[in-house]
Amino acid sequence: MKAIVTRRFGNPPQMGVEERPKPVPREGCTLVRLRAATINQLSNTVRTGEFGFPKAPLVLGNEGAGTVEESGRFPAGTRVAVYGHSDLGVTVDGLFQEWALVRDDRLLQLPDTLDWAEGSALTVNYLTAYLALTKAAGVRNGQTALVSGATGGVGHAVMQTARALGARPIALVSTARKARRAAEAGAPAVIDSSSRHLGEAVAELTDGRGVDIALDPVGGPRLGELIRSVRRHGTIVSLGFTGGRQATVEIMDLLAGERVVTGYGVHGDSDEEIAKGLDGIGRLAAEGHLRPVIDSRYALSDFEAGYARLASRKAVGSIALEL
């Protein structure tokens, strides 16, 4: 079978397509014929050597979708989405290959309404969104949720999931083009930070109260601004660092507003919480509430173009690798 193998980590990494043996089935695992996987920030962090402990050679890819070939849980032919947790594509070979052996409890039956690329983007981003909202933020029906980077893969997932859970999401984007995309995707309210002051826009949308929660996949300087946009006793959840790993926070913004700042990382969560999350997003997807936006699709042999698209920060939605 064909696999994209990282032979050396670094910037730039050394990667290429190789022939590998097809995985051998074993108890407790499902053999999946993969159809698509996502090129995401985790795999980019691993391949550039910033993750720390992975060892080459390694097949990257932490989320994907395909067809069950052999399983003790699903009938052959079942369409599934795959969640790689903290090992697939990190400590053991992942999903940038034509077949993969996946633990039974890390599979989600894929609704027929989603194609392979959409299915490949259903686990990591939507698990992050669902568990950040329900576990970290404790979202309640009717609350306002400000979402930075709302047209990115995680941001879009948070927007859809918040709405499905009864909250009122507010999309925060950085350009007029992204504002249009957010509106087209169904955002009830959109703030374009290139043309409006964030605090003033939030005050207008919330009658001066501030949002109940803010979720931040962007990080960097944006985090400090989001803290000031949240109401007294509100919660800010940090989800990523595409905009930078360093943030400046005014201590008085925390003390005066008694706000809570926390973080959520899906890859460090327990198997029990992940099982709850998979059940939750599976139900919402089957009901038609969740649908990933695919920015672009690349052939297996053209994977470097996909990483270039990721690095450009121009992607609106997820980047899919077709297998």
* 10 shares its domain with 109: yes
pLDDT score recorded for residue 246: 80
* 146 shares its domain with 237: yes
Report yes or no on 285 lying in a domain.
no
The H or E element containing residue 126 is helix 124-131
**Do the beta carbons of residue 218 and residue 192 sit within 8 Å?**
no
How confident is the model over 15-42, as a mean pLDDT? Answer: 96
Report yes or no on 234 lying in a domain.
yes
* 110 shares its domain with 188: no
pLDDT tens digits, residue range 249-298? Answer: 888 888 888 999 999 999 889 999 999 999 999 999 999 999 998 999 99
Q: Which residues span the domain enclosing 250?
A: 128-267
CATH of the domain at 26: 3.90.180.10
* 62 shares its domain with 161: no
Q: Tokens at residue 205, please? A: 């949308």
User: Looking at the 3D structure of the chain, how many domains does it have?
Assistant: 2
* 25 shares its domain with 141: no
Q: Considering the chain, what is the average pLDDT of its residues?
A: 94
**Residue 188, preceding peptide bond in cis (omega within 30° of 0):** no
* 79 shares its domain with 151: no
**Do the beta carbons of residue 37 and residue 120 sit within 8 Å?**
yes
Higher pLDDT, 256 or 27: 27
Say how far apart CA 168 and CA 46 lie, in whole Å: 35
pTM over 0.85: yes
What letter represents residue 68's amino acid?
V
**Do the beta carbons of residue 176 and residue 196 sit within 8 Å?**
no
Please state which of the ranges 132-141, 159-168, 267-276 shows the lowest mean pLDDT: 267-276
* 114 shares its domain with 140: no
What letter represents residue 220's amino acid?
G
Report yes or no on 275 lying in a domain.
no
* 133 shares its domain with 113: no
How confident is the model over 71-88, as a mean pLDDT? Answer: 96
pLDDT tens digits, residue range 259-273? Answer: 999 999 998 899 999
pLDDT score recorded for residue 29: 97
Instruction: Using the predicted structure, report yes or no on whether residue 152 has a pLDDT greater than 90.
Output: no
How confident is the model over 25-30, as a mean pLDDT? Answer: 95
* 15 shares its domain with 70: yes
Q: How far is CA 261 from CA 88, 147, 159, 233, 246, in A?
A: 30, 15, 19, 10, 15
